[in-house]
Structure 1
Amino acid sequence: MQNPAIEYDYTVAKWFSYLAILFGILGMGIGVLIAFQMAFPELNYIFGEYSLFSRLRPIHTNVVIYGFTLSGIWATWYYVGQRVLKVSLKESPLLNGIAKAHFWLYFITALAAVISLLLRYTTSKEYAQFEWPIDVLIVVIWVMWGIGIFGLIGLRREKTLYISIWYYIATFLGVAMLYLFNNMEVPTYFVAGMGDIFHSVSMYTGSNDALVQWWFGHNAVAFVFTVPIIAMIYYYLPKE
Structure 2
Amino acid sequence: MGHKRNAFLPKSKRWRDIVFQISNYSIENNNISLIADNILENVKDRFKLIENDKGVNTTFKFLLLLSYSTRTQNPHNFLKENGIELSDNLTPLQITKSLRIWIDEKVDSKEYASFAKSAAIDAISYWYQKNEYSQSNLFEAKQNQFNVWEKASNGTGFCDLSRKYFSKFIEKYLKYFLEREASSNSSSVSERESLNKNLEKYVENISQHSFETSKITQSYTAGWYNKYVIKEFPSDKKIKEFISIAFNKLRAEFEREQKNG
- Whether these two folds match at TM > 0.5 is no
Larger RCO (alpha carbons 8 Å, 6+ apart): 2
> What TM-score does the superposition give when structure 2 sets the normalisation length?
0.27
TM-score by length of 1: 0.29
